[in-house]
Protein backbone atom coordinates (compact mmCIF):
# COMPACT_ATOMS: atom_id res chain seq x y z
CA UNK A 1 0.00 0.00 0.00
CA UNK A 2 1.65 3.25 -1.08
CA UNK A 3 2.13 5.94 1.53
CA UNK A 4 -0.33 8.78 1.34
CA UNK A 5 0.52 12.39 1.96
CA UNK A 6 -0.31 13.89 5.37
CA UNK A 7 -3.01 15.95 3.64
CA UNK A 8 -4.62 12.83 2.14
CA UNK A 9 -4.57 11.00 5.47
CA UNK A 10 -6.00 14.03 7.25
CA UNK A 11 -8.83 14.25 4.70
CA UNK A 12 -9.47 10.53 5.12
CA UNK A 13 -9.71 11.03 8.88
CA UNK A 14 -12.35 13.76 8.57
CA UNK A 15 -14.32 11.63 6.11
CA UNK A 16 -14.19 8.63 8.47
CA UNK A 17 -15.23 10.76 11.46
CA UNK A 18 -18.17 12.18 9.50
CA UNK A 19 -19.32 8.62 8.73
CA UNK A 20 -19.10 7.57 12.38
CA UNK A 21 -18.52 10.46 14.81
CA UNK A 22 -18.23 8.31 17.93
CA UNK A 23 -15.03 8.93 19.87
CA UNK A 24 -13.45 8.41 23.28
CA UNK A 25 -12.75 11.70 25.09
CA UNK A 26 -10.51 12.26 28.07
CA UNK A 27 -8.92 15.22 29.77
CA UNK A 28 -5.21 15.01 30.44
CA UNK A 29 -5.33 16.93 33.71
CA UNK A 30 -6.78 14.08 35.77
CA UNK A 31 -6.63 10.32 36.05
CA UNK A 32 -10.20 9.70 34.89
CA UNK A 33 -10.86 7.14 32.19
CA UNK A 34 -11.87 8.24 28.73
CA UNK A 35 -15.58 8.16 27.97
CA UNK A 36 -17.60 7.68 24.77
CA UNK A 37 -18.90 10.85 23.19
CA UNK A 38 -20.56 11.92 19.94
CA UNK A 39 -18.47 14.51 18.09
CA UNK A 40 -20.46 17.25 16.37
CA UNK A 41 -18.59 18.04 13.16
CA UNK A 42 -18.90 21.00 10.81
CA UNK A 43 -17.64 20.62 7.25
CA UNK A 44 -16.39 24.21 7.32
CA UNK A 45 -14.36 23.71 10.52
CA UNK A 46 -11.22 21.62 10.10
CA UNK A 47 -9.57 22.32 13.43
CA UNK A 48 -12.45 22.08 15.90
CA UNK A 49 -15.54 20.10 16.75
CA UNK A 50 -18.06 20.07 19.58
CA UNK A 51 -19.65 17.86 22.22
CA UNK A 52 -23.01 18.27 23.92
CA UNK A 53 -22.65 17.14 27.51
CA UNK A 54 -23.76 18.07 31.00
CA UNK A 55 -22.26 20.48 33.51
CA UNK A 56 -21.57 17.62 35.91
CA UNK A 57 -19.66 15.58 33.30
CA UNK A 58 -16.04 14.75 34.17
CA UNK A 59 -14.82 16.72 31.11
CA UNK A 60 -16.92 19.81 31.91
CA UNK A 61 -14.00 21.72 33.41
CA UNK A 62 -12.25 21.62 30.05
CA UNK A 63 -8.53 22.04 29.55
CA UNK A 64 -6.02 19.86 27.72
CA UNK A 65 -7.70 16.78 26.29
CA UNK A 66 -7.25 13.85 23.95
CA UNK A 67 -9.75 12.26 21.59
CA UNK A 68 -9.29 8.69 20.37
CA UNK A 69 -11.05 7.61 17.18
CA UNK A 70 -11.38 4.32 15.30
CA UNK A 71 -13.26 4.29 12.00
CA UNK A 72 -16.26 2.00 11.69
CA UNK A 73 -14.34 -0.17 9.21
CA UNK A 74 -11.33 -0.30 11.56
CA UNK A 75 -9.04 0.92 8.80
CA UNK A 76 -8.22 4.31 10.30
CA UNK A 77 -7.07 5.18 13.82
CA UNK A 78 -6.46 8.66 15.20
CA UNK A 79 -5.26 10.19 18.43
CA UNK A 80 -6.08 13.89 18.54
CA UNK A 81 -4.75 16.36 21.10
CA UNK A 82 -6.27 19.71 21.83
CA UNK A 83 -8.09 21.87 24.33
CA UNK A 84 -11.67 21.69 25.57
CA UNK A 85 -13.43 24.98 26.28
CA UNK A 86 -17.02 25.88 27.04
CA UNK A 87 -18.92 26.93 23.92
CA UNK A 88 -21.10 29.78 25.14
CA UNK A 89 -22.28 31.15 21.77
CA UNK A 90 -26.05 30.42 21.66
CA UNK A 91 -25.96 30.47 17.85
CA UNK A 92 -23.48 27.58 17.79
CA UNK A 93 -25.45 25.62 20.38
CA UNK A 94 -28.66 26.16 18.36
CA UNK A 95 -27.00 25.35 15.02
CA UNK A 96 -26.37 21.73 15.97
CA UNK A 97 -29.35 21.19 18.27
CA UNK A 98 -31.69 18.42 17.10
CA UNK A 99 -34.16 15.85 18.43
CA UNK A 100 -31.41 13.29 19.11
CA UNK A 101 -29.55 15.80 21.30
CA UNK A 102 -32.76 16.93 22.98
CA UNK A 103 -33.48 13.35 24.10
CA UNK A 104 -30.57 13.60 26.55
CA UNK A 105 -31.88 16.72 28.30
CA UNK A 106 -35.07 16.63 30.36
CA UNK A 107 -35.42 20.41 30.07
CA UNK A 108 -34.66 20.44 26.34
CA UNK A 109 -32.63 23.33 24.99
CA UNK A 110 -33.25 25.28 28.22
CA UNK A 111 -32.03 22.46 30.51
CA UNK A 112 -29.92 24.10 33.25
CA UNK A 113 -27.40 21.22 33.10
CA UNK A 114 -26.79 21.57 29.33
CA UNK A 115 -23.19 22.24 28.38
CA UNK A 116 -21.53 22.39 24.98
CA UNK A 117 -17.78 21.95 24.78
CA UNK A 118 -15.59 22.96 21.84
CA UNK A 119 -12.51 20.84 21.14
CA UNK A 120 -9.81 22.95 19.47
CA UNK A 121 -7.37 20.57 17.83
CA UNK A 122 -3.64 21.07 18.22
CA UNK A 123 -2.18 17.99 16.57
CA UNK A 124 -2.95 14.40 15.67
CA UNK A 125 -1.32 11.11 14.95
CA UNK A 126 -3.20 9.10 12.32
CA UNK A 127 -2.77 5.54 11.09
CA UNK A 128 -4.46 4.06 8.04
CA UNK A 129 -4.28 0.27 7.76
CA UNK A 130 -4.36 -2.07 4.78
CA UNK A 131 -7.59 -4.02 4.60
CA UNK A 132 -7.07 -5.14 1.01
CA UNK A 133 -7.43 -8.79 0.01
CA UNK A 134 -3.64 -9.20 0.17
CA UNK A 135 -3.46 -7.74 3.67
CA UNK A 136 -6.32 -9.93 4.91
CA UNK A 137 -4.79 -13.07 3.39
CA UNK A 138 -1.46 -12.37 5.06
CA UNK A 139 -3.18 -11.96 8.42
CA UNK A 140 -5.20 -15.17 7.96
CA UNK A 141 -2.18 -17.23 6.95
CA UNK A 142 0.27 -15.73 9.41
CA UNK A 143 2.56 -14.38 6.69
CA UNK A 144 4.69 -11.40 7.61
CA UNK A 145 3.25 -7.98 6.89
CA UNK A 146 6.19 -5.69 6.23
CA UNK A 147 6.20 -2.03 7.28
CA UNK A 148 5.79 -0.81 3.72
CA UNK A 149 2.65 -2.97 3.40
CA UNK A 150 1.09 -2.03 6.73
CA UNK A 151 -0.50 1.26 5.71
CA UNK A 152 0.05 4.97 6.03
CA UNK A 153 0.95 6.91 9.15
CA UNK A 154 1.42 10.59 9.79
CA UNK A 155 1.61 13.28 12.45
CA UNK A 156 -0.13 16.52 11.59
CA UNK A 157 -0.62 19.90 13.16
CA UNK A 158 -4.24 20.93 12.88
Split the chain (158 residues) into runs of 10 and give each run's mean pLDDT. Answer: 72 93 94 94 90 97 97 93 97 95 95 97 88 54 55 65
| Residue at 54 is within a domain | yes
Q: Which domain holds residue 17?
A: 6-157
Contact 81, 124 (CB under 8 A): yes
Query: What's residue 83's pLDDT?
Result: 98
DSSP assignment of 15-45, as one string? HHHHH--EEEEEESSS-PPPEEEE-B--TT-
Question: Is 127 domain-assigned?
Answer: yes
Predicted confidence at residue 72, as pLDDT, reads 94
DSSP 3-state assignment of 156?
strand
Number of domains in the chain: 1
Residue 110 lies in a domain: yes
Q: What pLDDT is recorded for position 41? A: 95
| Residue 91 within a domain | yes
CATH number, domain of 36, equals: 2.30.110.10
Residue 1 lies in a domain: no
* pLDDT of 1: 42
Amino acid sequence: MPDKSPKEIREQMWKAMAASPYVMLGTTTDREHFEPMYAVLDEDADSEFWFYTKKDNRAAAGGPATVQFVSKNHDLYASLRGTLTTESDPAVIDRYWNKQVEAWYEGGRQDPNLLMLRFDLADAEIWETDHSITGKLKMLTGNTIYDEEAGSHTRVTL
